[in-house]
């Protein structure tokens, strides 16, 4: 197994390189880069300044004549930005260097996890990623664990009682819950439980309270969990259907096989058949989907939830970077997402061997 793990880790290097390279060149040729963004920001600011200057009354103009003259001059200069200013902007964002030189510099930096500085946030990208990581990991981890802890036992029970009233009733309930958008349910939770119009039981903002550092360890844990209740519920509300039905169908498929009939003929109870014989085989396909489920909830599904509950996570950071064309953050979040996804894929493979020791990836290799 050690050789297999080493091979998988080595394969991560070309995978990361290919993804980063492809996205680097796609983004570089796309219009509206950070230089254009900065120029648009300068022009937009100057437009508003000129409007304020032209709309001011005569007395205000006399009291601030110097300020008005400066603002008008800035605006007129921004209309057709001086080539020296444009060159300075390009130098600031590193676009004064050739494309391939920027590409090789980026690869060298990424080998040491040096993602540079943000173009617009005034901090290093690594600091921003580390600062936002606890929020995303908290949302993804708790949501995934809750979905799996509820969906797998429920799916097994549904398989044992296939076609019964409980089976059809829970399926109807899960379909109804899956039709509710997570962000809409989050707004409803805020209105009811977070001081909206009814109850004020849960906090609305942040991952922890402002006085979290002053609390003892027990109250720190409870404060953190209390902040996670509403966002986690909003993320998980529609996530039970797919995994529950996958578990049920996987168990139903295994139940019809010959080895199950043999186990029953030997006098095993239905519970023993389910958990001693069927469980290992049926769980393989479920474990295979765990990394994708975790990554999906961790990044893709939490953006609107982060906005509603004022949680600054990686999803929101990546979205802001795309809007602002903040390339260092865009590439860094992509790099981190891909790296975590590859690690989770490896963990998923290792879990195969835990569930079913007969699987030997190294022998197959």
The structural domains of the chain, with segments of one domain joined by +, span 32-111, 125-364
Residue 4 in tokens = 């297999």
pTM of the model: 0.71
pLDDT of residue 61: 34
Residue 365 pLDDT greater than 60, yes or no: no
Higher local confidence (pLDDT), 244 or 323: 244
Strand, coil or helix: what is 96? coil
Question: What does the longest C-alpha to C-alpha distance in the chain come to?
Answer: 101
Residue 107 pLDDT greater than 90, yes or no: no
Task: Render pLDDT for 313-340 as a digit per residue (tens, 0 to 9).
Answer: 887 888 888 887 788 888 888 888 788 8
Residue 13 in tokens = 């290097």
Which whole number is the average pLDDT over 173-191?
87
With a pLDDT cut of 90, the percent of the chain lying above it is 6
pLDDT of residue 51: 41
Strand, coil or helix: what is 56? coil
- Kindly indicate the confidence band of residue 70, based on its pLDDT and cuts at 50, 70 and 90: very low
Residue 195 pLDDT greater than 70, yes or no: yes
Q: Report the mean per-residue pLDDT for the chain.
A: 77
For residue 162, report the phi and psi dihedrals to the nearest 5 degrees. Answer: -60, 130
Higher local confidence (pLDDT), 62 or 87: 87
Please tell me the least confidently modeled range out of 92-96, 206-210, 314-318: 92-96
pLDDT of residue 53: 36
Residue 95 pLDDT greater than 70, yes or no: yes
Higher local confidence (pLDDT), 91 or 304: 304
pLDDT of residue 48: 42
Higher local confidence (pLDDT), 257 or 79: 257
Task: Render pLDDT for 157-176 as a digit per residue (tens, 0 to 9).
Answer: 898 888 899 999 999 999 99
Please tell me the least confidently modeled range out of 8-17, 136-145, 154-163, 342-351: 342-351
Residue 191 in tokens = 């209105």
With a pLDDT cut of 70, the percent of the chain lying above it is 76
Which whole number is the average pLDDT over 181-188?
85
Residue 96 in tokens = 């004064």
- Kindly indicate the confidence band of residue 150, based on its pLDDT and cuts at 50, 70 and 90: very high
Which of 19-28, 38-47, 144-153, 294-303 has the largest mean confidence? 144-153
Which whole number is the average pLDDT over 266-288?
79
pLDDT of residue 330: 83
Please tell me the least confidently modeled range out of 9-13, 92-96, 115-119: 92-96
Cα distances (angstroms) measured from residue 327 to each of 18, 37, 106, 256, 306: 17, 12, 11, 53, 22
- Does an H or E element contain 201, and which? none
DSSP labels, 158-213:
HHHTTTSHHHHHHHHHHHHHHTS-HHHHHHHHHHHHBSSSS-B-S--SSSS-TTGG
Residue 89 in tokens = 């902007």
Closest CA to 241 of 292, 172, 193: 172
pLDDT of residue 170: 93
- According to CATH, what is the number of the domain 125-364? 1.10.3720.10
Closest CA to 95 of 332, 325, 336: 325
């Amino acid at each position: 197994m050690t050789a297999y793990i080493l091979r998988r880790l080595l394969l991560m290097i070309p995978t990361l390189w290919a993804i980063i390279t492809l996205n680097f060149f796609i983004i570089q040729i796309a219009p509206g880069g950070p230089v254009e963004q900065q120029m648009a920001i300068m022009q937009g600011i100057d437009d508003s300044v000129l409007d304020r200057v032209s709309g001011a009354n005569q007395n205000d103009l006399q009291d601030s004549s110097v300020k008005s003259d400066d603002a008008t001059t800035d605006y007129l200069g921004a209309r057709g930005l001086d080539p020296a200013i444009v060159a300075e902007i390009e130098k600031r964002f590193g676009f004064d260097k050739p494309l391939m030189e920027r590409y090789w510099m980026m690869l060298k930096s990424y080998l040491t996890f040096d993602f540079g500085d943000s173009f617009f946030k005034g901090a290093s990208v690594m600091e921003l990623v580390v600062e936002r990581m606890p929020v995303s990991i908290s949302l993804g981890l708790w949501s995934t664990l809750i979905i799996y802890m509820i969906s797998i036992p429920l799916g097994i029970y549904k398989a044992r009682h296939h076609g019964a009233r409980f089976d059809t009733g829970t399926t109807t309930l899960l379909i109804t819950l899956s039709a509710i958008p997570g962000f809409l349910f989050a707004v409803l939770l805020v209105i009811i439980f977070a001081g909206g119009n009814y109850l004020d039981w849960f906090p609305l903002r942040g991952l922890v309270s402002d006085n979290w550092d002053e609390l003892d360890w027990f109250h720190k844990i409870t404060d953190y969990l209390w902040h996670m209740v509403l966002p986690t519920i909003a993320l998980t509300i529609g996530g039970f259907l797919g995994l529950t039905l996958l578990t049920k169908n996987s168990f139903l498929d295994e139940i019809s096989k010959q080895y199950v009939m043999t186990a029953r003929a030997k006098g095993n109870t239905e519970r023993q058949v389910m958990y001693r014989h069927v469980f290992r085989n049926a769980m393989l396909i479920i474990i295979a989907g765990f990394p994708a489920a975790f990554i999906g909830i961790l990044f893709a599904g939490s953006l609107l939830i982060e906005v509603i509950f004022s949680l600054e996570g990686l999803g929101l950071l990546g979205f802001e970077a795309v809007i602002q064309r903040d390339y260092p953050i865009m590439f860094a979040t992509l790099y981190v997402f891909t790296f975590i996804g590859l690690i989770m894929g490896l963990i998923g493979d290792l879990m195969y061997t835990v569930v079913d020791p007969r699987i030997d990836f190294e022998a197959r290799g």
